[in-house]
Amino acid sequence: MDSKTKKILGFSLTGLVALVFLMSGIMKLMGGENAAEMAKGAGGESNLLILGIIELCIVALWFIPRKGVVAALLSIAYMGGAIAVHFTQGQSVLVPVIIQIIIWITAVIRFPELGIRLFNKTTTN
């Protein structure tokens, strides 16, 4: 894959991940119709507010080039927690796992040094 294709794919996937976290964060902060159900699963409305703020911080960090790796690691950890909550409450973990996979792919495409460190993989530009 040439560098132009990697850049386009990286920015497209970054936009997708950011959109998922942006929509989820706004939904948690606005308190739509599913807010009561989410609040019960998240441990209360104050936790829902904190989770929404964290999600919006992740979105902001994704678009700061020097903080992108931090955003990737933070979003990976956040989704790990979401998977654990879904699992313990008997909900399907399919959607959080798919989002987690997309985050990993995005991180490795956007930050080849992360792929080298994690998978001991060499990259070609």
pLDDT by residue for the chain (125 residues), tens only, comes to 788 898 899 889 999 999 999 998 998 888 766 666 666 666 666 778 888 899 999 999 998 888 989 999 999 999 999 899 888 888 899 999 999 999 999 999 988 888 888 877 565 55
Q: Which residues span the domain enclosing 62?
A: 3-119
- On whether residue 33 sits in a domain, the answer given is yes
- On whether residue 35 sits in a domain, the answer given is yes
Residue 112 CA to residue 32 CA, distance in Å, equals 38
Residue 30 CA to residue 71 CA, distance in Å, equals 23
- On whether residue 114 sits in a domain, the answer given is yes
Helix/strand/coil percent split, the chain, to 5: 80, 0, 20
- On whether residue 89 sits in a domain, the answer given is yes
- On whether residue 50 sits in a domain, the answer given is yes
- On whether residue 124 sits in a domain, the answer given is no
Give the count of domains, the chain.
Answer: 1
What's this model's pTM, rounded to 2 decimal places?
Answer: 0.82
- On whether residue 103 sits in a domain, the answer given is yes
Residue 33 CA to residue 36 CA, distance in Å, equals 7
Which pLDDT belongs to residue 48? 83
- On whether residue 27 sits in a domain, the answer given is yes
- Among candidate residues 113, 120, 112, the one with its CA nearest the CA of residue 9: 112
Which pLDDT belongs to residue 31? 75
Q: Which residue intervals of the chain are DSSP H helices? A: 3-30, 35-42, 45-62, 68-88, 94-110, 112-119
Place of tokens 């850049």: 7
